[in-house]
Structure 1
Amino acid sequence: MTVRSMSSLFQTHTLTIFQEDGSILDEQDFKQHYHRTEFQTDHQLDSKQLITIGLGHLMETVEATRYDDNNRFDAGYVFFQHQWDPSEKWNLVTGVRADLHSQYGERISPKISGMYKVSERFSWQLSLGAGFKAPDFRQLLLNFNNASAGYYVFGANLVQAGIARLQSQGLVQEMLLDPSRFGQLEAENSRAINTGFRWKIFRELLFQSNFFHNDISNLIETAPVARLNSGQNAFSYFNIARVISRGAELDWTFRVSDNLQFSLGYMYLDTKDLDVLEKIDAGELFRRDTQNRSRRVQRSDYGGLFNRSRHSGNVKINYQESGTGVNMVLRGIYKGKFGFGDVNGNLILDDPSEYAPGLISWNLSLNKDLKNGIMVEAGGFNLFNQTTIHAPDNPGTILFAGLKLPIHQLINQNK
């Protein structure tokens, strides 16, 4: 039997002070504790079948200034999985998971996946399944202000009061989303199908693909809800009733030599709010054209969900210098243009002015293993300082250096 346990703590203290006289306008505390314990056991029925059974418990508590009680969520779950290898070519995995949440009820999530090995170089995979995700307390009760960056994040239960406070202080330039969306968050449910293949074209070149389609109910969305006078945004969480997301992931890996490897990845993503599509088809949504004339929104105008790039990709170069033993990893990450918020007032993504430009971020990491498992590393993220006001969580260039010490290993060696 395997036992896993994990705990985490998140805490913020926010103090708002008038600069003129030093008086305290607002003071907020937020403390979140999360703990998970899981038990799992595996049983080999025979040489071709493996059964996995497990259960677990999640506990989450929050103490916040605006809430007198100690808020607590409890969730239990059990899961069962059967892995069957009927032949060297076939692999089939079936499973089911049952979740019971103290606030959001119960949910049964089945899944089935399979792989067929056509040859030693080519295999095909397929999976179908359902998922369940309950909101956490941060998504419900967080009240956070990043003073240095100038943006705010409000939980769904606090966003209306938080935005009203910012408006009363004259900090809001414009609203980006419909305030009626704010309120109680519901649990997210999804159904997914994935298929793809793995093809080793020749010894040095590997190609992998994945094609997916997801139907999601009550998608828990994170998005800017208001633009502030500072140019930054206030963010929150809300549900989108019916969403589809579909696309493809393509990856190439090429080993140039024993010391040098090159990889390239691309992702295409198409997302749609089905309620918006119904309104478009019914002729209920309008927009202004370049001559300021009102016209109906067409499906071709609709850009899908906010904050999602239709095109994204990455390139990675890994080089191991044999003389010094230094390992270098250079990675470029491309995020295509994405919708940042509503500008023309119809509350959907349908206008060129509602898109933020795409960015390429380059990251570099250097590391070297020393004696006794010690490793030194240095590098940087976003080396060319590619930023946009529409991504406040991107601080620009970050340089780092570090030393990893395997304490347990060093202690054992000194015994």
Structure 2
Amino acid sequence: MPQEPTPATHAALRVLTAGSVDDGKSTLIGRLLLDAQALMADQLDALHRRSAASDALELALLTDGLEAEREQGITIDVAHRYFATPRRKFILADAPGHEQYTRNMVTAAAGSHAAIVLVDPTKLDLTRRPLQLLPQTRRHLLLAHRLGVAHLILAVNKIDAVADPAATFHAVAEALQTFSAQAGLEPAAVLPISALHGHNVTRRLQVPWYRGPALLELLEALPVPQPRRDGPWSLPVQWVQRDGDGTGQQARIHWGRLAAGTVRLGDAVQVHPGGQRAHVAALWHHGGVALQQAHAGQSVGVVLDRALDVSRGDWLGAPQALQGQRRFAATAAWLDGEPAAVGQRAWLRHGHRWVQARIAAIEHRLDLDTLQPAQDAQLAVNDLGRIVVEAAEPLPLRPFASDGPEHGALLMVDPGTHRTLAALLVA
């Protein structure tokens, strides 16, 4: 039986569905909404009308809302759906599986706590050993892992559509676990499901060859990752309020979400990139609530004990905590149709700051088959690799793996077309 909810499991869980084209991602979300009774009567009526010509409900219609998605039978944009059970709330993100829309999957993964990566065994050569996973399955698994998704759930879908469900599940599960071990992943679970018919989605599958939890049971028990409260505090400034603090006294309030640590009244402050120093004179929560302290993950307003020139995009933090870097190495998920080039100019988005930068070197590309650095140092669309970037201004960077997205994640944008070139994770 699942454990009793803790504060970490009371919070809303952001869940991404990923995998290759037609693996059943949209159908799975539709099944979760239907079985959790999260659909309104008019939605159910519309679903039955649209599915009148089919033997089963076309559950993908609940998330594929674009006309082009329905015409082509694929997911193009990310669709978000919300539902709740007695145990917790969920925010579901249905990401496209087609390689052309990988950038949309990256967008959804960047804010997700868990990813359900689906595999359709009917597309695989089940007679081949070792069993080969589809390239997009491997790519989505690696992207979700590299983008910091805390919980990876591997779901073998369409288990009702194969002749020998037990043998098929064990073969695919072995291939997934082998790939995960090679890639350094630790899946939360590998489980069989049928999104179309609801097998093992909200109720456990009653078969002798699987004794694990149902998908929803697992999702209800997963903890939401909590920001680190230890170590020096830091806050990227999103907005500076100059018209008073709500008490009749004029003050500059620096609003943002704490990226790390705990800040208290009286703490010393250093501004990045200016380097000026001050102390925390007041802390505010929205609605004019005064605080004695605030922790990582909270959105707060910081009032300093003296007036300093601080603007959107600057950082506040404990002295010496924000060390700027201009040249750094990062894992790049290349998203643009044109390949990356050494010397290429771009804008970098870090926190709330935009700075100019250039690609100083392309160290390697990750081979999705061998999971080793490829000999050719070229990055094309949907490739993963390692690059060196030189920024025009120092940025307070920390490794993504240890300090999370606030300090360690960046976007690279083309200065002329404004296309997103790459998602960067500081190594």
Q: TM-score if structure 2 supplies the norm length?
A: 0.24
Identify the structure with the greater strand proportion.
1
Larger Rg: 1
Which one has more relative contact order, counting CA pairs under 8 Å at least 6 apart?
A: 2
Q: TM-score if structure 1 supplies the norm length?
A: 0.24
